[in-house]
Amino acid sequence: MPQNNIQISEQQEYTELLKSIILSRKRGAVPLAYTHTYGCQGNVADGERINGMLSEIGFGFAERPEDADLILYNTCAVREHAEDRVFGNVGALKNLKRRFPSTIIVLCGCMMQQEHVAARIQKSFPFVNLVFGTHALPRFPELLFKVITGGRRVFEIADSEGAITEGLPIHRDGEFKAWVPIMYGCNNFCTYCIVPHVRGRERSREPQIILDEIQGLVSAGYKDITLLGQNVNSYGKTLAEPLSFAELLRQIALIEGDFWIRFMTSHPKDCNQELLEVMASSTKIAKHLHLPFQSGSNKILTAMNRKYTIEHYLELAAKAKELMPELCITSDIIVGFPNEERADFLQTLEVLRRVEFASLFTFIFSPRKGTPAAEMEDSLPHEEKAKWFAELLKAQEEYSAKVTNRLLGKELKVLVDSQSESGILKGRTEGNIIIELEGDASLIGSFVKVEVTQAKTWVIKGEIL
């Protein structure tokens, strides 16, 4: 896979040029940027690279858009609701731009990779200065330079084969939790999904680059590291020397230090015994598996192009629990896919009962322009879908409570991650369940041993031992 190092040095030249330019344009004492990322963790990881580039150019970060010289929204296109929020928030910037005409407004990310969206921005939001899609991200300094010096709006949404640009600066949001993309794009083309259309084809980062990045994070004190990809189990196929995801994970777990490694998302068609065995073999690999099944009905799974049967899924989940009795499984579900009938939905509920997920991400089907499912006939009224959706949430409460109740009296390792306003410490278990604790704020960012003393549906309470 080509590594665009030449491109990086070119971008560094633009970064240097921008340093003095932005100093002459700032409103306050220092140039400030306000950035906001929507969507999945992969997009969050992109946002950390955007912030890295902004930081190198010399921007500090503002808490509110009205204080910023540059406002950037890194957008998501996965559901209509996500897009509506972006259009709403961008519309609201019109007045701000009137008050502070020198503010640079930037839109990027998945939503912008779609031509019809860029066209709408071009026409209806003339105060937006720069629009770029996911493929142009490494060229952000160059595009910003063009906007500022050219005095014209810039739109850069061309598709590309999808190389990987290594070596971008990263301004991480957290001090002990980190995201590490191991691959980009997706080849699966589930019929409802826009991701392959806006993120391009699947491509994997070189294992040594990933291992070095994680080694660096562990040395810097990071404790909870999540490997990211739309289908991590398919990692490595595009490498000159192919390597399986299970093998990558095995090598990561050999890095010395006290840390947890997580990964998402696993696709049931590619998740295999080898991976489950590696997971079971190391205490560094968190016993948490995010394994979306989307629907309990084979009729719907086929229409979704998911390429597995629900029997296969149930078998996989059972195998995983057999190997790791303490494993927490989470999942994604879509309710109201075209032609879904009550009987299909009841099969989805049955999967909840069988697997006992710790928690779920649930969505009502949202037609995405350009995907096959958006063209399928869909006669089920939205009110009916909303009813089933509520039913699903209600059903899950019982199973989540079962999972948390099973932890009562257990001794667990917990990563303390924050403190609420009332002074209660919050943390996460290996299974990613929220736990509340009494203790000192100095524990934030460290592992503690805890005894679980109370269990509610979504949260447990414990005492530090």
Taking the least distance from each CB to ligand SF4, the nearer of 97 and 262 is 262
Q: How would DSSP label each residue in 112-168?
A: GGSHHHHHHHHHH-TT--EEE-GGGGGGHHHHHHHHHHH-S-EEE-------B----
Q: x/- string (CB under 6 A) for ligand F3S, residues 19-58? A: --------------------xx-xx---------------
Q: What are the residues binding ligand SAH (CB under 6 A)?
A: 78-79, 192-193, 195, 230-231, 265, 267, 292, 294, 332, 334, 363, 365-366, 368
Torsions phi, psi of 445, nearest 5? 95, 0
Minimum distance between the CB of residue 67 and ligand SF4, rounded to whole angstroms?
A: 36
Residues 155-194 binding ligand F3S (CB under 6 A) are 194
Give the CA-trace dihedral at 222, 239, 188, 73, to 10 degrees: 50
For residues 202 and 224, which CB has a smaller minimum distance to ligand SF4 in the complex? Answer: 202
Indicate the helix (H) or strand (E) that contains 414. strand 411-419
Least Å distance, CB 399 to ligand F3S, is 25
296 belongs to the binding site for ligand F3S (CB under 6 A) = no
x/- track of binding to ligand F3S for residues 96-135 (CB under 6 A): --------------x-------------------------
Q: Give the binding range for ligand F3S (CB under 6 A) out of 17-25, 195-203, 279-287, 321-329.
A: 195-203
DSSP-derived pairing of the beta strands 183-184 and 203-204: antiparallel
How far apart are CB 232 and ligand SF4 at their closest, in Å? 11
Segment contacting ligand SF4 by CB under 6 A, of 100-108, 118-126, 192-200, 217-225: 192-200
Report the distance separating Cα 248 and Cα 210, nearest Å. Answer: 9
Which letter, b or e, does each residue of 7-40 get, where b requires 16 or more Cβ atoms within 10 Å of its Cβ? beeebeebbebbeeebeeebeeeebbbbbebbbb
334 binds ligand SF4 (CB under 6 A): no
Smaller CB distance to ligand SF4: residue 139 or 197? 197
189 binds, among ligand SAH, ligand F3S, ligand SF4, none (CB under 5 to 8 A by kind): ligand SF4
The reply to whether 367 sits near ligand SF4 by the rule CB under 6 A is no
Determine the straight-line distance between the first and last CA of the chain, rounded to whole angstroms: 49
The first and second tokens of residue 17, run together, are 């040029």
Would you count residue 199 as binding ligand F3S (CB under 6 A)?
yes
Q: Which of 3, 188, 215, 366 binds ligand SF4 (CB under 6 A)?
A: 188
Looking at residue 289, its amino acid is L
DSSP of 182-244, one letter per residue?
-EE------TT--HHHHH-S-EE--HHHHHHHHHHHHHTT--EEEEE-TTGGGTTTTSSS---
Residue recorded with tokens 């719907």:
300
- Indicate which of ligand F3S, ligand SF4, ligand SAH, none lies near residue 310 (CB less than 5 to 8 Å, by partner kind): none
Residue choice 78, 261, 351, 355 for contact with ligand F3S (CB under 6 A): 78
Torsion of CA 150, 154, 158, 162, to 10 degrees: 80
Range in contact with ligand SF4 (rule: CB under 6 A) among 171-179, 181-189, 401-409, 455-463:
181-189
Among residues 22, 70, 77, 415, the one that binds ligand F3S under rule CB under 6 A: 77
Distance CA 163, CA 7 (A): 11
Minimum CB distance to ligand SAH, residue 201 (Å): 14
- Answer with the entry of ligand SF4, ligand SAH, ligand F3S, none that 368 interacts with (C-beta below 5 to 8 A by kind): ligand SAH
CB neighbour class for 319 (10 Å; exposed up to 12, middle 13-18, buried from 19): middle
- Of 117-125, 176-184, 187-195, 389-397: span binding ligand SF4 (CB under 6 A): 187-195
Q: Which one, 352 or 443, has the nearer CB to ligand SAH?
A: 352
Among 323, 292, 288, smallest CA distance to 432 is for 288
Q: Could you tell me how many residues make up the chain? A: 465
**Closer CB to ligand SF4, residue 228 or residue 252?**
228
Q: Are 192 and 369 in contact (CB under 8 A)?
A: no
Q: Which is nearer to ligand SF4, 271 or 329 (CB)?
A: 271
> What tokens were used for 371?
């995907």
CA–CA separation, 222 vs 162, rounded Å? 29
Task: Rule CB under 6 A: choose which of 90, 154, 164, 195 binds ligand F3S.
Answer: 195
* Sign of the torsion angle spanned by Cα atoms 387, 389, 391, 394: negative
- Residues at the contact surface with ligand F3S, assessed by CB under 6 A: 39-40, 42-43, 76-78, 110, 194-195, 198-199
- Residues at the contact surface with ligand SF4, assessed by CB under 6 A: 186, 188-190, 193, 195-196, 230-231, 267
